[in-house]
Amino acid sequence: MDNLAVTQEVKPPNTKKGPVKWLIDNLFNTWYNTILTCFALVFLFFVFKGVFTWVFTQANWRVIPANIQILMTGPYPIEQIWQVWIVLCTLSVLLGLSAGIWHGLVFKLSIAIASIGLIFLLIPLEIVNFIASIGPTFLFTPLELINKKIETEPGTLELNLNFISLIFFKRRWLLGCLVLLVVTFFLGRDKHVLKRWVIGGWFLSFPWTMIMLHGFGENPVSTTDWGGLLLTLILATVGIVACFPLGVLLALGRRSQLPAIKWVSTTYIETIRGVPLITILFMGSLILPIFMPGDFQLDKVIRAMIGLTLFSAAYMAENVRGGLQAVPQGQVEAAQAVGLTYPKTMLFIVLPQALRSVIPAIVGQFIALFKDTSLVSIVGLLDLFGIARSILGNPKWQGNFVEIYLFVAAIYFVFCYAMSYFSQEIEADLGVGKY
């Protein structure tokens, strides 16, 4: 009993938490880190100050709303723009149904898309002109002054604050897409019977998109009139979808035991990987016509698609080959032992394991392909970047290159960043590296 009395009370170690502790741990833990932090703070202060003064006082943001239509769809005829919206509605329905059925990642993705759509639905683009005409102090300007300004200069200010007209009339298609997305989500919730139909729908959505965009009947829209973000997305999608099977075939060919197939695949992969994409695209536009029989000519967009696909297939093949090498030989032997043929071994045993382990590399390849679509502007297509350049060719907007390039860069950034984010999520979902 006496022993107990001797026991001292040991205080727990000092585990202070809170912002101060965090600051000391992460910013001021050593003398050189303190100096670095100070330098970084000064640097950030000047950068932010410069950026803010430029964004709010010097930049002319009117250039974006004035050209938003052409940035999105290029020279696509305005009276047929409903065809694009029909495609978007179709995709919304499919996305909504998939989100309802599968939940998980698709659900997250559709939430992200829906919230971006909602922002564009609710914020009138004219607000940019409005803020530009009032100046950076618009937040502090009394309402009467603004009203007075609207009355005195009705021509310069076209702020349409009538939200009802904006949302239900001007943006009725966007509203429709969002409503369809939400409605189909609730319709499709946990209806697993629909699975096959939705997958089939996704497969059919591609030809449907092409047909719908091209239009039918009296005045079809030729592919030369496709442009802007629309063309960029189409090129990227076609490239991604088409290069995948081609790349897998090439990778299998390169690892084949038949020397003829192996050598042809290896030569193809190494040649394509050794030259820049721009040579392939130029070959598409300059050399392909020579190799075509007679007067038969492919159109520009198709040639760019072929070039992008052939190019990225070689890179895809190398990524897939990395995955194939990571699959233990025992898996192939076991598959052969149970009597599977070569195609079955590959399809059901090797490829699923191989592809799962190289998801980051494959998505990295897709991101590179998405960025590379901007090169088609050099061979004369009007993709998102090509349109940006053509806007800058207009003397009226010549001085606004920073605004335009920043806007276009932001669009590319959002797509690339989203792709890499979702690849990390997919990886976590599939449990790569867990077992």
Partner 1 sequence: MQQDSTKIPFWRDIRFLKVFFQILFVIGIILLAGILYSNMINGLSRQGIKLDWTFLNSEAGFGISEGINYDPSDSYLKAFWVGVVNTIKVSIAGICCGTIIGFFFGIARLSSNWLIQKIAAVYVECFRNIPLLLQIFFWAALIRSLPKIENSIVISDNIVFNVQGIFFPSFAPGPGFTTWLWYLLGGVILAIIVVLGFAVFRHFGGDHELQQTDRPPFTSNIIFAAKWAAAPTFIIVAIAGWFLTSEPTFAVTRPVLQRFGYVGGMNLSPEFTSVLIGLSVYTSAFIAEVVRSGIQAVVKGQREAARAVGLKESQVLSLVVIPQAIPIIVPPLTSQFLNLIKNSSLSVAIGYPELFQVGETIINQTGQTIPIFGMIMMSYLIMSLTTSAFMNWYNRRITRYGLSR
Where along the sequence are the contacts to partner 1 (CB under 8 A)? 26-27, 29-30, 33, 36-37, 40-41, 43-44, 257-261, 264, 271, 274-279, 282-283, 286-287, 289-294, 367, 371-372, 374-375, 377-378, 385, 388-389, 392, 399, 401-402, 405, 408-409, 412-413, 416-417, 420
The smaller minimum CB distance to partner 1, of residues 72 and 86, is found at 72
- Amino acid identity of residue 262, one-letter, is K
**Cβ neighbours for 402, distance < 8 A, ≥ 6 positions apart:** 59
Positive or negative torsion for Cα 280, 285, 290, 294? positive
Q: Is 121 helix (H, G, I), strand (E, B) or coil?
A: helix
Minimal distance, residue 377 CB to partner 1, in Å? 7
**Closer to partner 1 by Cβ: residue 81 or 378:** 378
**Hey, which residues does 383 pair with through a beta bridge?**
228
The one-letter code for the residue type at 143 is: L
CB of 275 to partner 1, least distance (A): 5
Closest contact distance (angstroms) between CB of 162 and partner 1 is: 37
Closer to partner 1 by Cβ: residue 18 or 259: 259
Q: Which amino acid is at 319?
A: N
Closest CA to 37 of 58, 23, 54: 23
Q: How large is the angle between the packed helices 259-274 and 300-326, nearest 10 degrees?
A: 120
Query: Is-contact 320 392, C-beta < 8 A?
Result: no
Compute the least distance from the CB of residue 202 to partner 1, in Å: 26
Inter-residue contact 435 to 368 (CB < 8 Å): no
Euclidean distance between CA atoms 431 and 117, whole angstroms:
31
> Shortest gap between Cβ of 293 and partner 1 (angstroms)?
5
DSSP state of 188: T
- Taking the complex as a whole, the smallest distance from the CB of residue 374 to partner 1 amounts, in Å, to 4
Residue 349 Cβ, how far from partner 1 at the closest point, in Å? 19
CB nearer to partner 1: give 50 or 289: 289
- We find the least distance from the C-beta atom of residue 323 to partner 1, in angstroms, to be 17
Q: What is the C-alpha to C-alpha distance for residues 152 and 158, in angstroms, rounded to an integer?
A: 12
Task: Find out whether 187 and 97 touch, Cβ atoms under 8 Å.
Answer: yes
For residue 398, what is the DSSP state? G
Helices 384-393, 63-73: axis angle to 10 degrees equals 140
Q: Which is nearer to partner 1, 211 or 402 (CB)?
A: 402
Give the tokens for residue 52.
Answer: 């803010």
CA distances from 255 to 183, 316, 321, 325, 361 (A): 48, 14, 8, 9, 19
CB of 417 to partner 1, least distance (A): 6
